[in-house]
C-alpha cells in the first residue's frame, strides 16, 4: 500500500474538527498520515486535535501563527511524507471508502483522480450532490476533463481529488497566499498543466462538504468576486490558447461566472453597471456555443443589453433558486 497524506487546515473549528479527523482516520484504507495544521486558533481546536493524536499515531498536529488556509496547507505539504496527497476542510467529512477508491484508481498511467461529492447545509440537511462519470481522460484531452468537472462544480475544490506528491514537489507547486479566495482553483490548474499522464473521474459522491453561513466562501462573495473569478480564469485561458484547445469550455465558464456572480451579488444594480462599464457582455453577444437550460436563457437575456430586463431576470433566477432550496453562496 502507498502512504496517503491527508492535509487538514483548521482555524477555530472546535465544534467540527473531531468529526472531520475521525472520518479521515476511520478510512477503510489504513496506510495514512493525517496532518492537521492549526492556524493559530483562539478556541480549543488545538487541544481537541492533540487529544485525538494521543490515541492514533497516524495523526500529526502542527501549529502556526494565524496566516490563512493557504499558508496552513503549504506548511502541511512541506511536512507530508505520502506518495499521494489529499486535502479536506475542518467542517467536512470523507466517506469511509473515499481513500481506498481514490488510490485504487490512481494507476501508473493516472496523475489525478476526482470524485463526486455531497453538499450539506449548515443545519445538517443534505442540499444536493454532484456526480461525475466513471471515465478516464487522456492527457491531450485535458480540456474535456476540465469541462466535465466545471459543469459539476467539481474542478475548483481540492478536497474531491487525490494528487501525486512527486508532481507537487517536482514543480514546487504551492497555494498562492496572496489571494483570499480561489487559490484552490489556481493550484489545480497548475497541477493539471504539469501532469504528463491521464486523468480520471469517479461517479461516487465520496466527500461531504458542509456549507457555512460564516465561511470564507460567503464573505468573499460580497467583494469584487466577479473580477477575481475572471482574473483567475485567465490562467486556464492561457493553457487553452497554448495547447490550441477548443475555447468553448472557457466561454461557458465565463458565462457561468457572470451568472453566479450576479446571483450572489448583494447590490445587483451596482454590479450590473460595472458589467456594462467594463463591457463584460461584449464577450457573449456573438457567442456561438451550445448551451443548455438556464445558461441558454441567461445568454439570450444578456444579448438584449437592457439593464432593467437583466435586473428583473436575475431576481427571478434567484427566486427560483430559493424555491429549489439552493439559495446559498458558492465560491
DSSP string, 31-84: -EEEEEEEES-SSSHHHHHHHHHTT-TTEEEEEE-S--HHHHHHHHHHT---SE
pLDDT digits (tens, 9 = 90+) for 279-302: 877 777 666 777 777 778 888 887
Q: State the pLDDT at residue 220.
A: 42
| Cβ–Cβ < 8 Å for 320, 298 | no
- The domain spans of the chain are 4-212, 219-323
Cell of 34: 493525517
What percentage of the chain reaches a pLDDT higher than 90?
64
* Alpha carbons 291 and 151: distance in angstroms, whole number: 11
- In what helix (H) or strand (E) does residue 15 lie, and over which residues does it extend? none
Mean pLDDT in residue range 210-236: 69
Question: Is pLDDT of 215 > 70?
Answer: no
Position 157 confidence tier, pLDDT thresholds 50, 70, 90 = very high
Instruction: List the alpha helices (DSSP H) in the chain.
Output: 17-25, 45-53, 69-78, 98-105, 142-151, 165-170, 183-194, 216-219, 225-242, 248-264, 268-277, 282-285, 293-304, 307-323
pTM: 0.90
| Side-chain-side CA neighbours of residue 102 (13 Å) | 35
Contact between 329 and 212 under an 8 Å Cβ cutoff? The reply is no
pLDDT of 330 strictly over 60: no
Tens digits of per-residue pLDDT, 70-119? 999 999 999 999 999 999 999 999 999 999 999 999 999 999 999 999 99
Give CATH superfamily name and number for 4-212: Spore Coat Polysaccharide Biosynthesis Protein SpsA; Chain A (3.90.550.10)
97-101, 102-106, 206-210, 221-225: which range is least confident on average? 221-225
**CB contact at 8 A, 38 and 10:** yes
Cβ neighbours for 178, distance < 8 A, ≥ 6 positions apart: none
pLDDT at res. 118 = 93
From residue 289, alpha-carbon distances to 189, 229, 258, 295, 313 in Å are 23, 21, 16, 11, 22
Cβ atoms of 89 and 7 closer than 8 Å: no
pLDDT band at 17 (very low <50, low <70, confident <90, very high): very high
Distances (CA, A) of 118 to 21, 106, 160, 215, 221: 18, 22, 10, 18, 21
pLDDT band at 325 (very low <50, low <70, confident <90, very high): low
Q: Would you say residue 43 has pLDDT above 70?
A: yes
Give the span between the Cα atoms of 331 and 264, in whole angstroms.
Answer: 10
d(CA 275, CA 226): 9
Amino acid at each position: 500500500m502507498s502512504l496517503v497524506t491527508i492535509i487538514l487546515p483548521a482555524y477555530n473549528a472546535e465544534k467540527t474538527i473531531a468529526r472531520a479527523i475521525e472520518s479521515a482516520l476511520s478510512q477503510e484504507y489504513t496506510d495514512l498520515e493525517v496532518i492537521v495544521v492549526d492556524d493559530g486558533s483562539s478556541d480549543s481546536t488545538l487541544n481537541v486535535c492533540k487529544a485525538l493524536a494521543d490515541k492514533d499515531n497516524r495523526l500529526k498536529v502542527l501549529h502556526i501563527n494565524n496566516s490563512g488556509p493557504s499558508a496552513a496547507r503549504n506548511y502541511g505539504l512541506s511536512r507530508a511524507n505520502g506518495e499521494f496527497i489529499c486535502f479536506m476542510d475542518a467542517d467536512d467529512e470523507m466517506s469511509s471508502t473515499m481513500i481506498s477508491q481514490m488510490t485504487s484508481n490512481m494507476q501508473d498511467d493516472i496523475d489525478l483522480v476526482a470524485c463526486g461529492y455531497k453538499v450539506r447545509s449548515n443545519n445538517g440537511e443534505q442540499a444536493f450532490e454532484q456526480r461525475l462519470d466513471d471515465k478516464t481522460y487522456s492527457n491531450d484531452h485535458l480540456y474535456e476533463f476540465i469541462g466535465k468537472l466545471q459543469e459539476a462544480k467539481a474542478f475548483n475544490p481540492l478536497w474531491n481529488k487525490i494528487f501525486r506528491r512527486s508532481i507537487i514537489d517536482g514543480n514546487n507547486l504551492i497555494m498562492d497566499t496572496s489571494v483570499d479566495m480561489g487559490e484552490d482553483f489556481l493550484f489545480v490548474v497548475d497541477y493539471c498543466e504539469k501532469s504528463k499522464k491521464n486523468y480520471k473521474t469517479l461517479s461516487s459522491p465520496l466527500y461531504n462538504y458542509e456549507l457555512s453561513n460564516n465561511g470564507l466562501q460567503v464573505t468573499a462573495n460580497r467583494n469584487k468576486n466577479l473580477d477575481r473569478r475572471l482574473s483567475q480564469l485567465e490562467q486556464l485561458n492561457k493553457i487553452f490558447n497554448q495547447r490550441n484547445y477548443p475555447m468553448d469550455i472557457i466561454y461557458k465558464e465565463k458565462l457561468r461566472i457572470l451568472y453566479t456572480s450576479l446571483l450572489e451579488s448583494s447590490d445587483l444594480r451596482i454590479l450590473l453597471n460595472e458589467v456594462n462599464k467594463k463591457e463584460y457582455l461584449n464577450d457573449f453577444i456573438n457567442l456561438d456555443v451550445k448551451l443548455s437550460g438556464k445558461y441558454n436563457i441567461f445568454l439570450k437575456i444578456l444579448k438584449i443589453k437592457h439593464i432593467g430586463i437583466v435586473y428583473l431576470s436575475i431576481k427571478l433566477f434567484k427566486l427560483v433558486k430559493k424555491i429549489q432550496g439552493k439559495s446559498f453562496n458558492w465560491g
